C-alpha cells in the first residue's frame, strides 16, 4: 500500500470504492468516532470520514446503493470499508435496509452505561444551544417529568439509552453472531484491548499495536500515534458533563436497570453498569 494512501483518499491504480462490509451502528455518544479512528490505524481498513446517514434518511436511501458507494473512500481489493453512523442503531428502518444491501454485514455496536450516555447526549445538545445563545433546560428538568416525578420516557436522550428496544429490531434481520459489542467505558480506559477484540472479530491480521495508543494528559483521553505523529479527537469528544443531582442519577439507574438486564440476557454478555 503506497505511503499516505489512506490519508489522501485519491484514486490510484487498482483501487475502487466499495460498499462497506462493516458498520458501526451506534450507540450515539458511545465512543463511535474514537473506535472508527482506532480501526483506521489498520492497513487493511479504510473508513468513511463522515457520517453518511444512508440507512436512516429516506432522501439518502432513495438515491440507491450506488450513490452510497460513491461516498466511500477508495480501497484495494481485500481491504475492509467501514462506515459509522450512530443514528442507524435507533432508526426503525435501518435494520431492514442494511439487510437488503448485505445480509452478511458485520455490525459493531459500542455500548456505554446508559445513564452516562444520556448525560453525554444532553451535554452535546446543551452545548449546541449555548453556542447559538438559545435557552436550554437543566439536565434534571429534561429527564424528569416534574408532574409525576418519574423519568420522562419521551425525552429522546432517554429513548436512545433503552438499548434493548432498538436492538430487538436488529435481531429481526441479523444473527447475534453478526454483532460485536464494544465496551465504550473500557474503550476510554483501555482502547487497545477493545480494538484488538474488533481486529479478531473482523479476522484482520494483528497490525494494531499497543504503541499506537498514547494517553494525552491534557486531553484526558488516549490519542492515536502513527509514524511519531499524535492525533487526538476534537474538543467535541470528551466534554465536561454537568453535575447531576444524585437523586436524579439514582432514579435513572433504577429506570434503566430492567432494560439493561433484558439487553444483557439477549446478547449473552453483561456490562458493568451501575
Q: What are the binding residues for 3'-phosphoadenylyl sulfate?
A: 29-33, 112, 120, 222, 237-241
Q: Is 29 an active-site residue?
A: yes
Q: Within positions 32 to 51, which residues make up the interface with ligand A3P, using CB under 6 A?
A: 32-34
Output the smallest distance, CB 239 to ligand A3P, in A.
Answer: 4
What does the alpha-carbon distance between residue 231 and residue 135 come to, in Å, rounded to a whole number?
34
Report the candidate in 39, 37, 47, 45 with the shortest Cα–Cα distance to residue 196.
39
Crossing angle of helices 114-131/246-267, nearest 10°? Answer: 120
Which residues within the stretch 123-162 sit at the binding site for ligand A3P (CB under 6 A)?
none
HEC secondary structure over 190-253: CHHHHHHHHHHHCCCCCCCCHHHEEEECCCCEEEEEECCEEECCCCCCCCCCCCCCHHHHHHHH
Q: Which one of 88, 170, 221, 271 is in contact with ligand A3P (CB under 6 A)?
A: 221
Residue nearest to ligand A3P (CB): 120
The helix (H) or strand (E) run that includes residue 16 is strand 15-17
Minimum CB separation from ligand A3P for residue 62, in Å? Answer: 26
38, 50, 219 from 32: Cα distances, Å:
10, 12, 17
C-beta closer to ligand A3P: residue 84 or 106: 84
Q: Specify the stretch interacting with ligand A3P by CB under 6 A; choose among 22-30, 44-52, 125-133, 135-143.
A: 22-30
User: 6, 11, 28, 29: which is the annotated catalytic residue?
Assistant: 29
Longest Cα pair distance anywhere in the chain, in angstroms?
A: 64
Residue tagged 417529568 (cell numbers)? 145
Among 20, 31, 95, 114, binds ligand A3P (CB under 6 A): 31
Interacting residue with ligand A3P among 29, 106, 160, 251 (CB under 6 A): 29
Positions marked active-site: 29
Q: Residues in the site for ligand A3P, rule: CB under 6 A?
A: 28-34, 86, 120, 187-188, 221-222, 233, 237-239
Amino acid at each position: 500500500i503506497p505511503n499516505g494512501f489512506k490519508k489522501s483518499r485519491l484514486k490510484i491504480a487498482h483501487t475502487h470504492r466499495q460498499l462497506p462490509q462493516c458498520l458501526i451502528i451506534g450507540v450515539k455518544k458511545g465512543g463511535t468516532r474514537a473506535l472508527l479512528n482506532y480501526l483506521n490505524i489498520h492497513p487493511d481498513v479504510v473508513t468513511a470520514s463522515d457520517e453518511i446517514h444512508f440507512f436512516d434518511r429516506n432522501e439518502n436511501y432513495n438515491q440507491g446503493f450506488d450513490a452510497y458507494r460513491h461516498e466511500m473512500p477508495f480501497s484495494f481489493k481485500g481491504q475492509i470499508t467501514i462506515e459509522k453512523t450512530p443514528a442507524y442503531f435507533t432508526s426503525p428502518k435501518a435494520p431492514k435496509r442494511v439487510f437488503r444491501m448485505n445480509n452478511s454485514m458485520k455490525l459493531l455496536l459500542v455500548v456505554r452505561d446508559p445513564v452516562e450516555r444520556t448525560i453525554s447526549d444532553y451535554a452535546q445538545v446543551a452545548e449546541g444551544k449555548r453556542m447559538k445563545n438559545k435557552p436550554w433546560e437543566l439536565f434534571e428538568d429534561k429527564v424528569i417529568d416534574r408532574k409525576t416525578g418519574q423519568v420522562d420516557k419521551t425525552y429522546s436522550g432517554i429513548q436512545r439509552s433503552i438499548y434493548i428496544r432498538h436492538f430487538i429490531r436488529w435481531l429481526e434481520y441479523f444473527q447475534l453472531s453478526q454483532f460485536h459489542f464494544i465496551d465504550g467505558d473500557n474503550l476510554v480506559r483501555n482502547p487497545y484491548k477493545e480494538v484488538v477484540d474488533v481486529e479478531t472479530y473482523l479476522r484482520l491480521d494483528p497490525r494494531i499495536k499497543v504503541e499506537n495508543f498514547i494517553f494525552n494528559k491534557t486531553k484526558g483521553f488516549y490519542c492515536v500515534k502513527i509514524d511519531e505523529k499524535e492525533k487526538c479527537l476534537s474538543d467535541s469528544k470528551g466534554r465536561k458533563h454537568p453535575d447531576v443531582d444524585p437523586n436524579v442519577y439514582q432514579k435513572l439507574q433504577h429506570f434503566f436497570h430492567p432494560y439493561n438486564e433484558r439487553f444483557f440476557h439477549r446478547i449473552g454478555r453483561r456490562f458493568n453498569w451501575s
